[in-house]
Chain A
Amino acid sequence: MDLKEKLISSFLAFENNVDLDHPVHEVRSEAIKNFENKGFPSKKEEAWKYTSLNSLQKVDFSIFPKEESTLEYKDVKKYFLHEIDTYKIVFVDGVYSSYLSETTHDGVDVCLMSSAFSKPMFRQVIEVYFNKVASKDESLTTLNTAFSKEGAYIYIPKNKMPKKPIQILHLATGNEAALMLQPRNLIVAEDNAEVQIIERHQSLTDNEVFTNSVTEIFAGKDAIVDYYKVQNDAPTASLVDNTYISQKDSSVVRVHTFSFGGKLIRNNLNFYQNGERIDSTLKGVTILGDKQHVDHHTLVHHRQPNCESHQDYKGIFGDSSTGVFNGKIIVDKIAQKTDAFQQNNNILLSDRATINSKPQLEIFADDVKCSHGCTIGQLDEDALFYLRSRGIPKKEATALLMYAFANNVLESVRIPELKSRINKIIANKLGVRVGFDL
């Protein structure tokens, strides 16, 4: 049985465990029909030209973990940003771990999708927001919608801000030979609310994991949302991250994506500007080696006048790694005075590494500022010699140049401890001690 068939038949079993009378279930039923029609995306589709899910479909993934797993905090502490106090929503093999988590209902709701689906007090928010910005058409998104049951639920009412940042951590124990996870997150920041979120997926063994995640983010008027995705997973973990963001007037949403590890990562990051004077920021640092593959597909849809978007993605590719950057910007006819910026810079460290970078601009308004640029180059040999001639060893000099290259992106990280953590991950990845701080 291939994965598609297995998923479709699993849906029946899934239905035994959810409330079929809940309005959300109709949404799920519609979604599974769409997935059944479409199936997994194939390389024939333009958007999936460079990323193949074929080999994943041959793996016999467990769709639901058979048993509940427990983990000791000390064994997974390093995957948390433990230097600062945070709320934590932690899942182990897709199942909520109350033991590792710290949720709250104190003025804001930081809890679980399963509670949001089942408790009447959340029903209104679910009705207004759930599946309202996620695609009803894209096959993997609808697959996730069909199985939507668990994930992070974050609701920040008007003028509120949680006391501390929120971490969402998905851990996979390897208790299953191969496990498929489909977390579903909903994040709502009402007018003038503010929130900072860090999300990480971490597999703890060499067993195969395939995560198909969907996150919906709604930013009300003047709301500020910072979302950091840390993708530094095991070499047997694959991730398709579908994130959909809807913004209202004068809101600011910044998404930083740090892609350092994993077997295959596909990020579909979609911004929809549904108001004026909006600021959307999409930044990424990708550092890959081995045969790793990361595909960033971004979309910024400018639907109203006087908005801005800033995209800045840096990629460093070693060994036989492959990268894709596809940045689509749509500017509707009424979206005059749009200021859309897109930059994608890449360094290839080996002649076996490849990057496919493509801007895709669809501009229907006439009074707009749109700039985009893409570079692909090698490490600057003259700069390397300059540093080495001052006594900085080759490895450290290379690392320093890479930090410098990625610095634009790191600079806008607003949690200093996260920034130094990212620096450490980069240093580890490059095999150097962090002796410098930019």
Chain B
Amino acid sequence: MLEIKNLHASVEDKEILKGIDLKVNAGEVHAIMGPNGSGKSTLASVIAGKEDFEVEEGSIVLEGEDLDELAPEERAHKGIFLSFQYPVEIPGVSVTNFIKTAINESRKARGLEEMPANEMLKKIREKSELLEIDRKFLSRSLNEGFSGGEKKRNEIFQMAMMEPKLAILDETDSGLDIDALRIVANGVNKLRNKDNAIIVITHYQRLLDYIVPDFVHVLYNGKIVKSGTKELALELEEKGYDWIKQEATV
């Protein structure tokens, strides 16, 4: 589904991604771990099309199509979804109106009619129940004054509404309490199927207990320095990153 080859990306002439290769097939869950500042969020942003980053070399291909020339919204229309590490507060736009606009703009781009209002309401009800989100919450301004955990839960609510092909969850677990983590992870699992794929960026094994990855990669200094199966995450939890850093510099 997604194939990243030799991806180099920089911001303000500073190279952050230094040659990333990653292949994600439909139906798979990949976890990306790695020390702070190693480039995980940058990779997520570059896949989503953030224009601040300059792709110097390499390619990102989604279902056979090179994303290079595509704007962020076009990538979203193709089924890419990014759950932000730091969701942006947008005062004056309610969660409901935002999600309606997002869904209908995506449908329009795919040549579909707007979603009928009753269908939209039904879907909103269903997905907010899945994530145990209070309906009152949905009429509030997007992320404004939301607690850290509420923001993350709201991101996954949007994911549930958008039903992406490729979801990238950037530290969705940070800020969630133990119960919320279970609810959110459960929500994500319900959305999994053989046709979509998920990239989970996290620092902790905790989340991976719920959303079990098929592969685990370690990103360090702009490169994937180690890949393995879910056992790698356990090993990292136990030993930290020093041994990986040493291996990488050798």
Contact = CB atoms under 8 A, between A and B. Distances in A.
B105 A393 contact: yes
A436 B101 contact: yes
A418 interface: no
Interface string A386-415: 111111111011001101110110000000
Tell which of A382, A383, A388, A389 has the most Cβ of chain B within 10 Å.
A389
Contacts of B191: none
Interface in B7-64: 48-52
B48 A389 contact: yes
B184 interface: no
B158 interface: yes
Nearest to B144: A404
B207 interface: no
Interface in B50-89: 50-52, 71-73, 75-77, 80-82, 84, 87-89
Nearest to B82: A389
B108 to A, nearest CB: 9
B87 A388 contact: no
A392 B90 contact: no
Nearest to A408: B92
A407 B142 CA distance: 14
Contact of B97 (A383, A391, A436): A436
A435 B101 contact: yes
B217 to A, nearest CB: 22
B104 interface: yes
Nearest to A405: B92
A83 interface: no
Given A388-B72, A388-B76, A394-B73, A404 B104 contact: no
Nearest to A410: B92
B9 to A, nearest CB: 15
B105 A396 contact: yes
Tell which of B77, B87, B90, B162 has the most Cβ of chain A within 10 Å.
B90
A262 to B, nearest CB: 26
Interface range, A side: 20 to 34
A46 interface: no
A438 B77 CA distance: 23
A380 interface: yes
B159 to A, nearest CB: 10
A401 to B, nearest CB: 7
B73 A401 contact: no
Contacts of B97: 436-438
B183 interface: no
A405 to B, nearest CB: 7
Contacts of B52: 381
A436 B93 CA distance: 9
Contacts of B89: 383
B106 interface: yes
Contacts of A407: 92
Contact of A388 (B71, B81, B90, B94): B71
A365 to B, nearest CB: 33
A438 B100 CA distance: 11
Contacts of A396: 101, 105
Contact of A400 (B49, B84, B101, B109): B101
Given A385-B72, A404-B92, A435-B105, A390 B158 contact: yes
Interface string B104-117: 11100100000000
Nearest to B92: A404
B180 interface: no
Contacts of B72: 385, 388-389
Given A385-B50, A396-B105, A391 B73 contact: yes
Contacts of B101: 392, 396, 400, 435-436
Interface of B: 48-52, 71-73, 75-77, 80-82, 84, 87-94, 97-98, 100-106, 109, 158, 162
Given A396-B105, A405-B92, 4 more contacts: A382-B88, A389-B50, A389-B81, A435-B101
Interface of A: 380-383, 385-394, 396-397, 400-401, 403-405, 407-408, 435-438
Closest 3 A/B residue pairs (Cβ): A404-B92, A391-B76, A391-B106
7 contacts: A381-B52, A389-B81, A390-B81, A391-B103, A393-B71, A394-B73, A437-B97
